Amino acid sequence: MRSRPRSLAIGLAVAATAVAGTVTAGVHATPAQAATCNGYVGLTFDDGPSNSHTPALLNALTQNRLRATMFNEGQYAAAYPAQVRAQVQAGMWVGNHSYTHPHLTQLGQSQIDSEISRTQQAITNAGGGSPQLFRPPYGETNATVRSVEARYGLTEIIWNVDSQDWNNASTDAIVQAVNRLTNGQIILMHEWPANTLAAIPRIAQALANKGLCSGRISPQTGRAVAP
């Protein structure tokens, strides 16, 4: 829905400036889990939160012992603050995905600033903390976008693998996309497709088979690392 067909597998563009190293400690992995983590991948879910999709997604992730980064739209964080808090309470990380999901590269600097700053405020007000990560809608960025990100100490996170869940990918195809991830890499998914929700248990199994665990995304490197 919120992504249009475009070039895939854009590399990570990291616009890190003056990033504060304030990363909260995560949920402790069980010894069995820790022993199998030979690497970490970043699962990301865009375009939430919502009352209609967020609760089921969080249930599926926690039941399968997965953690993920939720790139929230500011307008929805403002509308559904309890879901932002639920994301944090479920052990997820919360990032900024603009306020209204525009094509930022078609906007001027002051409009871009408004999209980013209002989202920082909405997520903070909801109890999601002050995001350190920013994903521009559609993965579209330019020098002006990056300059505004820098003003807010945000690291720009695109993705290494596009699950194509926004483009009606099957559950099989989503799991296959996860299987292409290697250590440190990030996959684009969304909180709203039914096939994505259905894929969660199989995503967990696919990662376990490869000895990979779901990690947080480092604001310093833009790569997935241990929680």
Q: Compute the least distance from the CB of residue 198 to Zn ion, in Å.
A: 20
Q: State the nearest-atom distance from the C-beta of 191 to Zn ion, in Å.
A: 10
Contact positions toward Zn ion, by CB under 5 A?
2, 46-47, 137
The 8-class DSSP code of residue 27 comes to P
We find the least distance from the C-beta atom of residue 42 to Zn ion, in angstroms, to be: 16
Helix axes 109-126, 143-151, angle to 10 degrees: 40
Residue 145 or 213: which CB sits closer to Zn ion?
Answer: 145
* Catalytic residue from among 28, 46, 162, 165: 46
Whether 169 contacts 6, CB under 8 Å: no
Annotation marks residue 103 as catalytic: no
Residues 65, 207, 44, 226, CA torsion sign: positive
Residue nearest to Zn ion (CB): 2
| Contact (Cβ atoms closer than 8 angstroms) between residue 122 and residue 97 | no
Scanning the structure block, which residue is given the tokens 């990363």? 23
Active-site choice (53, 97, 101, 190):
190
Min. distance of Cβ 196 from Zn ion in angstroms?
13
Give the nearer residue to Zn ion in terms of CB position, either 3 or 185: 3
How far apart (Å, rounded) are the C-alpha atoms in residues 158 and 62?
24
Q: Please confirm, yes or no, whether 97 is among the known catalytic residues.
A: no
Q: Give 141 or 213: the residue with its C-beta nearer to Zn ion.
A: 141
For residue 17, give both structure tokens: 């400036």
**39 versus 137: smaller Cβ distance to Zn ion:** 137
What single DSSP character describes residue 54? H
Q: Catalytic residue positions? A: 46, 190
